């Protein structure tokens, strides 16, 4: 099993910045990729970004490209999401996730590709 714990969510003004972190424990040797998703009240879970654990290739949803940056630290088994120029529409519960064992094909943005999920951290952007 892999345990994921997010942190860093808070209230921030529009145009501001914040950094989310996700710490993995347990079967960390099995990590092949990690992703960030978000879910706003009444909406479906939405893909935000993902990173390949080996080659560090990154994937982003269009609405965050140029504003958010995903990064990883293999030695600490953490993944981070740097969020800049945030907007009210970024308000959501943010989850990190990891597949078991791999992401296949173009499944990076599909929640069904991920087996492990954290509890989420709340990001609220005020206008």
Strands 92-98, 116-117: pairing kind: antiparallel
Cα distance between residue 52 and residue 32, in whole Å: 6
84 pLDDT above the threshold of 90: yes
Q: What is the DSSP-derived secondary structure letter of residue 91?
A: -
Task: State mean pLDDT over 88-101.
Answer: 96
pLDDT per position as a tens digit, 52-66:
999 999 999 999 999
Structure tokens at 72: 């990883």
Query: What 3-state class would DSSP assign to 49?
Result: strand
Cα distance between residue 78 and residue 3, in whole Å: 11
Q: What is the DSSP-derived secondary structure letter of residue 90?
A: G
Task: State mean pLDDT over 36-54.
Answer: 96
Structure tokens at 40: 């706003």
Which pLDDT score is estimated for 105? 84
Q: How far is the first Cα of the chain from the last one, in angstroms, to the nearest whole number?
A: 40
Nearest to 123 by CA among 17, 36, 12: 12
Residues 6+ away with beta carbon under 8 Å from 117: 4, 95, 96, 97
Mean pLDDT of the chain: 96
């Amino acid at each position: 099993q892999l345990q994921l714990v997010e942190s860093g969510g808070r209230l921030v003004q529009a145009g501001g910045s914040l950094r989310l972190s996700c710490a993995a424990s347990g079967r960390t040797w099995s990590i092949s990729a990690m992703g960030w998703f978000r879910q706003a009240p009444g909406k479906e879970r939405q893909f935000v970004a993902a990173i390949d654990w080996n080659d560090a290739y990154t994937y982003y949803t269009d609405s965050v490209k140029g504003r958010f940056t995903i990064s990883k630290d293999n030695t600490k088994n953490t993944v981070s999401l740097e969020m800049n120029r945030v907007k009210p529409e970024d308000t959501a519960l943010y989850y990190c996730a990891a597949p078991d064992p791999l992401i296949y094909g173009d499944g990076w943005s599909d929640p069904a590709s991920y087996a492990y999920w954290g509890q989420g951290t709340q990001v609220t952007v005020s206008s």
